Amino acid sequence: MMLQRLIAACGQTAVHSLDEVQELLDGTAKGEFVLNAAVLGARTTQLGFAFAAGYPLAVRRLTGDARPLALAVTEARGNRPTDIDTVLRRDAHGSATISGTKTFVTLADRASHCLVLCKDGDAAPAADGRVALLLVLAPLRAHGVSVDMLPSLPIAPAIAHGKVTFTNTTVERIFDGDGWNDYGRPFRTIEDVAVMSAALGMAFRITFQSAPTLAARAIAILAALRDVERLGFSDREAHVLLSGALALATPLLADVCRAASDDVRIELERDLPLLSIATRAREARTARAWQSFS
């Protein structure tokens, strides 16, 4: 089924704008996560557009909300739980507002709402000093929200990032569970799976006619990522399997670069470092997974 879906996607015109990517996302039905990301990636020959397809699918996976969403975690001090200063407070009537600044929100210019990791200002710190974190849904086009787009990055310049400031912004929903353990931490794995699946779909499009051996390698790695999805994004075995899949994908994408036409190769070589961001976090995740088997 995956092979047939990918070949069918390759038979359609490649997308060349973020608006076209959004149209594809809007038409994506619920279903297999890895398959959907790979098929969307197979509609493009540019890694930036593949990322723009996979990343929103990852954000959507967190809550099931299919609207154009951004995820806001990173602040001035970083993106660890102890770095979060954005705070949620409730008034006497039960209404909740957030205040704080998120310094790096991917695709903030294209989202209508934002999933925001914040501190629960009404909860006392735990015995070890940790504060309770929540995930909330807030509008991005509303009173009390300021969105300032950042300069384009040299890697995947089509992908915009913004700084978002919330000032007593009313939240639409507070999600159940722990903001970090149930949403922030799993997202790192979900994002890796979605973005790499989309990148492999793109690699398949570039090579399935001209270099079918490379296309077959892409399919094999996608099969491993489907197993990660099956095991679950918090599963320790899934984290080990994901580390292996990512290790296989890196040389494959380098080979795809060499096999691509000149115009495609230039953009791929420029944007491939995008997939190396957060390498240390991945290594730490893999190390924890291996240690859990000891």
Task: State pLDDT tens for residues 104-132.
Answer: 999 999 999 999 999 998 876 666 667 88
Contact 184, 78 (CB under 8 A): no
Average confidence (pLDDT) over 275-283: 90
CB < 8 Å & 24+ apart, contacts of 93-96: 95/170, 96/136, 96/170, 96/171, 96/174
Q: CATH 2.40.110.10 occupies which residues in the chain?
A: 69-179
> CA dist 141 to 69, 109, 110, 200, Å?
12, 10, 11, 34
Of the chain, the percentage scoring pLDDT greater than 90 comes to: 88
Look at 64-78, 86-100, 117-131, 243-257 and tell me which has the smallest mean pLDDT: 117-131
- Give 294's pLDDT tier (boundaries 50, 70, 90): confident
- In angstroms and rounded to an integer, the radius of gyration of the C-alpha atoms of the chain is 19
- Supply the pLDDT for residue 126: 67
Tens digit of pLDDT for each residue in 215-243? 999 999 999 999 999 999 999 999 999 99
- Check whether 258 has a pLDDT greater than 90: yes
- CATH says 69-179 is which class? mainly beta
Question: CB within 8 A of 268, min separation 6: which ones?
Answer: 46, 47, 253, 256, 257, 260
State the Cα torsion 156-160-161-165 to the nearest 10°.
180
The residue whose two tokens read 């909740």 is 96
Quickly state the pLDDT bin for 1 (edges 50, 70, 90). Answer: confident
What span, in angstroms and rounded, lies between the C-alpha atoms of 243 and 180? 22
Mean pLDDT over each residue of the chain, to the nearest integer:
94
How much is the pLDDT for 41? 98
Residue 249: closest CA among 228, 276, 282, 283: 276
Average of per-residue pLDDT across 178-200: 96
In angstroms, rounded to a whole number, what is the distance separating the alpha carbons of residues 33 and 230?
Answer: 10
pLDDT of residue 129: 62
pTM for this prediction: 0.95
